[in-house]
Amino acid sequence: MSKGKILSTLPSVDELLNHKEILTLVQEVPRRVVVNEIRRSIENYRKKILQIDETSLNTFKIDIEEIIYNIISNSHKFMRMNLREVINGTGTVLHTNLGRSLLSNTIKDEIWDIASGYSTLEIDVSTGKRGSRYSHVTEIIKFLTGAEDALVVNNNAAAVMLVLSTMAKNKEVIVSRGELVEIGGSFRVPDVMEQSGAKLVDIGTTNKTHLWDYENAIGENTAAFLKVHTSNYKILGFTDSVSVKDLVDLGKKNNVPVIEDLGSGVLVDLQKYGLTHEPTVQESVAAGADIVTFSGDKLLGGPQAGIIVGKKCFIDKMKKNPLTRAFRIDKLTMAALEATLKLYLDEENAIKNIPTLRMLTESLDSIKKRTNVLYEMISSKGLDLEVNISSDYSEVGGGSLPLEKLPTCTLTLKSKSISVSQLENKLRKYSRPIFTRVQDDRVIIDLRTIKQEQYEIIVQALVEVMK
Ligand SMILES: *Cc1c(COP(=O)(O)O)cnc(C)c1O
* Same domain? 328 vs 387: no
Least confident of 29-38, 188-197, 428-437: 188-197
Output the domain CATH number for residue 169: 3.40.640.10
C-alpha pair distances (Å), 121 with each of 125, 339, 341 = 10, 14, 17
Given a contact cutoff of 8 angstroms between Cβ atoms, the answer to whether 427 and 90 are in contact is no
Name which of 241, 152, 229, 151 is nearest 183 in CA terms: 229
- Helix, strand or coil, per DSSP, at residue 290: coil
Task: Say yes or no: CB of residue 161 within 6 Å of ligand 1.
Answer: no
Question: Where does a domain end: 318, 353, 388?
Answer: 353
Q: Is the CB of 329 under 6 A from ligand 1?
A: no
Mean pLDDT of 293-300: 96
Instruction: Give yes or no for residue 41 CB within 6 A of ligand 1.
Output: no
Q: Are residues 457 and 381 part of one domain?
A: yes
Q: Per residue in 15-54, pLDDT tens?
A: 999 999 999 999 999 999 999 999 999 999 999 989 888 8
Which helix (H) or strand (E) is 200 found in, with range?
Answer: strand 199-203
DSSP string, 11-30: PPHHHHHTSHHHHHHHHHS-
What separation in angstroms does the CA of 122 have from each of 82, 112, 162, 331, 334? 32, 18, 21, 10, 12
- Asked if residue 422 and residue 398 are part of one domain, the reply reads yes
Q: What is the per-residue pLDDT for 326?
A: 96
Q: Do 72 and 167 lie in a common domain?
A: no
| C-alpha–C-alpha distance, residues 131 and 123, integer Å | 4
Q: Return mean pLDDT, the chain.
A: 94
Strand 258-264, strand 291-295: pairing:
parallel
Ligand 1 proximity of 296 Cβ (cutoff 6 Å): no
- Is residue 422 located within the same domain as residue 290? no
Q: Answer yes or no: do 250 and 268 share one domain.
A: yes
Q: Which amino acid is at 319?
A: K
228 touches ligand 1 (CB under 6 Å): yes
Is the domain of 274 the same as that of 140?
Answer: yes
Alpha carbon nearest to ligand 1 atom 6, residue: 156
Between the CA of 23 and the centroid of ligand 1 the distance, in Å, is 51
| Residue 318 and residue 404 in one domain | no
pTM (predicted TM-score): 0.93
Give, rounded to a whole angstrom, the gap between the first and last alpha carbons of the chain.
41
Domain tally, the chain: 3
Domain boundary (353, 373, 399) is at 353
**Which CATH number covers residue 400?**
3.90.1150.180
Determine the pLDDT at residue 185: 67
Give mean pLDDT, residues 44-66. Answer: 87
Ligand 1, atom 2, lies closest to the CA of 263
pLDDT above 70 (res 195) = yes
Backbone angles phi, psi at 339, to 5 degrees: -65, -35
- Last-in-domain residue among 316, 335, 353: 353
For the cut 70, the answer to whether the pLDDT of residue 109 exceeds it is yes
Confidence band, pLDDT 50/70/90 cuts, at residue 346? very high
198 with 160, same domain: the answer is yes
Q: Which of 152, 156, 180, 396 is the best mutation target for the ligand 1 pocket, counting ligand atoms within 8 Å of the beta carbon and taking the most?
A: 156
State the pLDDT at residue 1: 72
pLDDT higher than threshold 90 for residue 206: no
Angle ∠(409,412,413) on CA atoms, nearest 5: 155
- pLDDT above 80 (res 233): no
Predicted confidence (pLDDT) per residue in 393-402, tens digit? 999 988 778 8
**Per-residue pLDDT averaged across 415-419, rounded?**
94
Distance 232 CA to ligand 1 centre (A): 10
> What pLDDT does residue 46 have?
92
Neighbours of 109 (CB within 10 A): 10
Q: Are residues 392 and 343 in the same domain?
A: no
Domain span at residue 53 reads 3-79
Banded model confidence at residue 280, pLDDT cuts 50, 70, 90: very high
Per-residue pLDDT, 17: 96
Same structural domain, 298 and 386: no
Q: How many other C-beta atoms can be found within 10 angstroms of the C-beta atom of residue 283?
A: 19
- Same domain for 184 and 57? no
Cβ–ligand 1 contact at 155 (below 6 Å): yes
CA 396 to chain centroid, in Å, comes to 12
